[in-house]
């Protein structure tokens, strides 16, 4: 019954969101209600998943009328040709159904691809070990964690031939802490124009005994390279699976540049489940707004569209 409704073509995006939440239950996760950012965890088999993929979508105000959802496909095994083929399939569905609600069609298309994949003989990807709260709330694993190795590589990436290296430690601002059930979250922000400064800011923060003793120091940064007109960006979970990726995604949506945000979390002994991601992003959003790094939403959605194309051209892994 729900299925046929979800295919209905003359819905507002709010009606579609309600239907998706009803159909997919725990597979559907709200990342940011106001900005209409959602994530759907899709598996080949709900009871015994071998292949899982997370589809993250942001619904612009013009959706479904005149603009497609802005999307990201997250799965450690999804690379190269396979990623391109799946993206093309989704874009084809959009073109064939312009003006209509397509999230349901997208999810079921992805599920079909996963089912086909599981029927082939290749084994599923290795299952990673769980972090602190992952096994308590099954929504927590929604977004693919940034691999710590990739952040190390990006930090060591020397771009001195492209720009004058700035050696100074940038000023660091600290946000107002948020406390919930004995866990405290606090954001720290610094303007950065090169990876060396990212390292300097982290070292400076770790000189503070309180920050150094935090359970997690999650961070993300975005540096705009004028000459290449692309972003150098990365993130780190620091043991809080998926938190760095969510933080970086928020920064992409807010279209901020030449800035890094570190969110410290001091764990108080009570599991918060998915609420912890909300607090991490709220801390980060508040300090970015307070320090005037954010653009208007119109500019953000335009640039996010551009950003997606840049990433596609560069064949970088999504974070």
Q: pLDDT by residue (tens digit) across 140-183?
A: 333 333 333 333 334 444 444 444 445 689 999 999 999 999 89
Neighbours of 129 (CB within 10 A): 7
What are the E-state strand segments in the chain? 28-32, 37-43, 52-58, 70-74, 173-174, 178-180, 183-191, 216-225, 230-236, 259-266
DSSP-derived secondary structure letter, 153? H
Who's near 152: CB < 8 A, 6+ residues apart? none
Among the listed residues 261, 310, 249, the one whose alpha carbon sits nearest the alpha carbon of residue 290 = 261
pLDDT at position 315 over 80: no
pLDDT at position 208 over 50: yes
Mean pLDDT, residues 255-276 taken together? 91
Give the residue with greater pLDDT, 300 vs 106.
106
Note the pLDDT of residue 295. Answer: 64
Cα separation, 32 vs 29, whole angstroms: 9
Among the listed residues 258, 259, 256, the one whose alpha carbon sits nearest the alpha carbon of residue 295 = 256
Among the listed residues 95, 93, 115, 113, the one whose alpha carbon sits nearest the alpha carbon of residue 103 = 93
- Write down the mean pLDDT value for the chain: 78
- Partners of 262 in beta bridges: 188, 219
The least confident of 33-37, 103-107, 265-269 is 33-37
Residues comprising the chain, all counted:
319
Task: Tell me how many helices (H) and strands (E) the chain has.
Answer: 10, 10
pLDDT at position 86 over 80: yes
Note the pLDDT of residue 197. Answer: 93
Note the pLDDT of residue 309. Answer: 37
Q: How confident is the model at residue 99 (pLDDT cuts 50, 70, 90)?
A: confident
Mean pLDDT, residues 182-188 taken together? 94
Cα separation, 242 vs 162, whole angstroms: 31
Instruction: Please list, residue by residue across 21-54, b when 16 or more beta carbons sit within 10 angstroms of its beta carbon and e when fewer do.
Output: eebbeebbbebbeebbbbbbbbbbeeeeebbbbb
pLDDT at position 311 over 80: no
Neighbours of 207 (CB within 10 A): 8
- Partners of 105 in beta bridges: none
Largest CA distance in the chain: 62
Q: Are 60 and 38 in contact (CB under 8 A)?
A: no
Note the pLDDT of residue 281. Answer: 93
- Partners of 259 in beta bridges: 191, 222
Six-digit token string for 23 = 């159909």
Mean pLDDT, residues 86-95 taken together? 90
Note the pLDDT of residue 78. Answer: 86
Note the pLDDT of residue 47. Answer: 79
What kind and span of H or E run contains 249?
A: helix 243-253
Cis peptide before 204 (omega within 30 of 0): no
Six-digit token string for 218 = 């999650």
């Amino acid at each position: 019954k729900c299925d046929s409704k979800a295919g209905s073509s003359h819905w507002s995006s709010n009606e579609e969101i309600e239907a998706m939440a009803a159909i997919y239950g725990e597979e559907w996760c709200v990342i940011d209600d106001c900005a209409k950012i959602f994530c759907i965890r899709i598996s080949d088999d709900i009871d015994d998943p071998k292949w899982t993929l997370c589809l993250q979508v942001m619904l612009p105000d013009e959706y479904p009328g005149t603009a497609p959802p802005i999307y990201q496909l997250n799965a450690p095994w999804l690379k190269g040709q396979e990623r391109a083929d799946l993206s093309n399939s989704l874009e084809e569905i959009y073109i064939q159904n312009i003006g209509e609600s397509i999230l349901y069609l997208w999810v079921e298309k992805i599920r079909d691809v996963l089912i086909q994949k599981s029927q082939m003989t290749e084994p599923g990807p290795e299952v990673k070990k769980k972090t602190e709260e992952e096994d308590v709330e099954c929504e927590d694993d929604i977004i693919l964690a940034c691999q710590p190795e990739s952040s190390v590589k990006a930090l060591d990436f020397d771009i001195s031939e492209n720009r004058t290296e700035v050696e100074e430690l940038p000023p660091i601002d600290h946000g107002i802490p948020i406390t919930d059930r004995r866990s405290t979250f606090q954001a720290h922000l610094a303007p950065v124009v090169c990876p060396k400064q990212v390292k300097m800011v982290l070292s400076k923060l770790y000189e503070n005994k309180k920050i150094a003793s935090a359970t997690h120091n999650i961070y993300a940064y975005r540096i705009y390279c004028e000459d290449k007109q692309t972003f150098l960006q990365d993130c780190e979970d620091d043991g809080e699976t998926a938190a760095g990726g969510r933080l970086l995604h928020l920064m992409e949506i807010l279209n901020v540049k030449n800035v890094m945000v570190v969110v410290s979390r001091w764990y108080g002994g009570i599991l918060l489940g998915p609420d912890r991601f909300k607090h991490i992003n709220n801390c980060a959003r508040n300090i970015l707004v307070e320090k005037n790094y954010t653009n208007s939403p119109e500019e953000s959605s335009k640039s996010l569209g551009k950003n997606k194309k840049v990433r596609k051209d560069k064949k970088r892994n999504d974070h």
